Amino acid sequence: MSENAIGIFDSGLGGLTAVKELIKVLPHESIVYFGDTARVPYGTRSRKTIIRYAEQDTDFLLSKGVKMIIAACGTVSSVAVNLNDDLPVPFTGVVIPTAEAAVKATKNGRIGVIGTSATVNSGSYKKEILRQRDDITVFQQDCPLFVSLVENSFISKDDDIVKLVVERYLSPLKAEGIDTLILGCTHFPIISEAISAYLGDNVTLIDSGRETALYAAQILKENDLLSDSEKPGECHYYVSDTVEDFRRTAEIFLGKSVGDEVSHINLEHAKI
Question: In this structure, what are the phi and psi dihedrals at residue 229, rounded to the nearest 5 degrees?
Answer: -65, 145
- H or E stretch covering 205: strand 204-207
Q: Is residue 235 annotated as a catalytic residue, yes or no? A: no
User: What's the CA dihedral at 250, 255, 258, 259 to 10 degrees?
Assistant: 120
Q: How far apart are CA 10 and CA 253, in angstroms?
A: 13
Q: Is residue 73 annotated as a catalytic residue, yes or no? A: yes
Provide the CB-side half-sphere exposure for 243 (13 A, CA): 13
Beta bridge partners, 8, equal 33, 70
Find the catalytic residue in 22, 23, 68, 73.
73
Find the catalytic residue in 170, 185, 203, 235.
185
Beta bridge partners, 6, equal 31, 68
What amino acid positions are annotated as catalytic residues? 73, 185
